[in-house]
Amino acid sequence: MNRLAASLLALLSLTAPALAACSGTALTETLTAEQRAEVDARLAETPYPQGNHWRATEGDAVVHLIGTMHLTDPRLDGPAGRLRPVIEGADLLLVEMASPEKQEFEAAMKGRPEMVVLSEGSLPDMMAEADWQALSAAMESRGLPPFVGAGMQPWLISMLMAIPPCLDPATATEDGMDVRLESFAVEAGVPVRSLEPHETAFRIFNETPMAVQLSMVRSTLVGPKVAEDLFETMMHAYFTENHAEIFVAIEVLTPEISPITEAENDEVTAMMQDRLLAERNHRWLPVILQAVEDMQGPVVAAFGAGHLSGEEGVLRLLEREGFTLERQAF
C-alpha cells in the first residue's frame, strides 16, 4: 500500500524525475514545422503559458505562485535554492498536501480499501482480452503483479501505468520541489497549510464514469519508448518553464501516439482539464484569498505547475480578482 500511495502522490502533478535509467526524448523537440506552428498558435491564445514563479499583488497584498513538480530531480537544486529566501520571508506557505494531510492520505489508503479497490468485478472482466494482456505485461514490467492490479480502480491503474518502467515510484517522491519548499518553511518557522483536503483527488477520480476510467487505462498502453518520451517531454517542459506547452503538444501529437480513439481521448482530456485542474483551481482560489486576508506579510502558494496557465488557471483567476501578475526568477 505504501507503494500505491507514493505512486499516486507522485502523479498528481506535472512532471517526473530524471533518473539515469531513463533515456527518453522530449517530443516538443521533434515536432514538425507544421506541428510547431500549431502548438505556437494555440499557446499564443493561452493565458500565462510560461513561468514557474509569479508574484501577484493587489494593494498591500502579495502572493507568490510557484509551480512545482512532486518528484525528485537533481536539477531542482538550483531553483529550490533561489526560492528559499521567498519561503523564509513569507508569513504562510500553502501547498497541495502538507505533511499532516499526507499522513491522513496514507492512513486512508490503508484503512479504506474501497478508495482504491473495485467493489465488484475486475479489470479483465471490463476490458477486451487483447487490452488486458497488454495491461498485464505493462504491470509486470513495473513490478505490479497483474492479479493485484486486476482488482484496483481503473483510474489508479492508469496513474501507475503512466510511470514508465525505468522509474521506481516508491522512491521518487522523497525530494520533490514541494517537499523542499515545505522543509524550508518548517526550518524557518513559517506555517504550512494544505490547499485542499487529502480526499479531493480520490473523490474526483471515483466520480469519473467507469468508461472514461477504462479509456484512461487504455491510453497508457503505449510502448516503453513512448512512455519514456512522454515523461521526458513533461520534464523538459517544467525545467524550461513551458508548463502549458506540454498539454498543447500532447494534444497535437495524440493522433500519432494514442492507442485510444479521438472521442475517447477527448473525454479523458476533458476530465483531466475540467475536474483535476480547473475545478481544483477554483476551490483553491478562496483558500488563497483568505490566507492573504489573514496574513500581514507575503503568502506563498506552491502547487503543480500545470495549474498555473489557461483561462481557468490560478494566475488568470487571481487576475480576475484584481491582482497584478509579474513573472519572477525561478
pTM, entire model: 0.88
Structural Rg of the chain based on CA atoms = 19
Average pLDDT of every residue of the chain:
89
Say what the pLDDT of residue 273 is.
92
- 32-80 residue pLDDT tens: 999 999 999 999 999 999 999 999 999 999 999 999 988 778 899 999 9
Give mean pLDDT, residues 14-22. 46
Helices (H), the chain: 2-11, 33-44, 77-88, 99-111, 123-126, 129-141, 146-149, 154-161, 177-188, 200-206, 210-219, 224-239, 243-257, 262-270, 280-294, 314-320
Beta carbons within 8 Å of 186's beta carbon, 6+ residues apart: 192
Grade residue 330 by pLDDT with cuts at 50, 70 and 90.
Answer: very high
Residue pLDDT, tens place only, 272-287 = 999 999 999 999 999 9
Band (pLDDT 50/70/90 cuts) for residue 21 is low
Contact present, 86 and 323 (Cβ < 8 Å) = no
The pLDDT of residue 171: 57
On the CB side of 261, CA atoms within 13 Å amount to 6
pLDDT digits (tens, 9 = 90+) for 224-236: 888 889 888 988 9
